[in-house]
Amino acid sequence: MNFLHTMVRVKDLDASLKFYCDLLGLVEIKRKESEKGRFTLVFLAAPGQLEQAQDTFSPTIELTYNWDTEEYTGGRNFGHLAFAVDDIYALCDKIQQAGVTINRPPRCGHMAFIKSPDGISIELLQKDKPLEPQEPWLSMPNTGSW
């Protein structure tokens, strides 16, 4: 079995593409519009996984935009989407300049959390740092309401 994608329903497709593509650097690799179903699907891949994703559409994020407005009550059971980034400080600066809140800044140099326009938590991890949170980080209060 292989992991393929995570689907996220978005309220505003343009705002989401600005966030995931222009700000985070993901690349649109496929789009499907359904007149009958009244929705648009957009598959996004990370630049470092583009070749693989173009072959198998995985790993990707599948943005689902329903043309008719719906309320999406955020399920507490969904945690976050995590990305390994080249330079977490440079990316956080860019994110802050774009007016996006950094809910948990990269204090210990390797992990930050932000939220998408739909309030989806996004974890940013410095590429060459260990995945497991360092002890000091675990005891740090987070700045956002999680």
Ligand X SMILES: C[C@@H](O)C(=O)SC[C@H](NC(=O)CC[C@H](N)C(=O)O)C(=O)NCC(=O)O
Rule CB under 6 A: which residues touch ligand X? 7, 9, 37, 39, 41, 62, 64, 66
Site string for Ni ion, 7-36 (x = CB under 5 A): x-----------------------------
Determine which helix (DSSP H) or strand (DSSP E) holds 41, and give its type and residue range: strand 39-45
**Nearer CB in complex with Ni ion: 29/140:** 29
Task: Give the length of the chain.
Answer: 146
Residues marked active site are found at 123
Q: Is 43 in the site for Ni ion (CB under 5 A)?
A: no
**Nearer CB in complex with ligand X: 16/126:** 16
DSSP codes joined into one string, 74-132: PPTT--EEEEEES-HHHHHHHHHHTT--EEE--TTSSEEEEE-TT--EEEEEETTS-SS
Nearest approach in angstroms of CB 119 to ligand X is 17
Contact residues toward Ni ion (CB under 5 A) are 7, 62
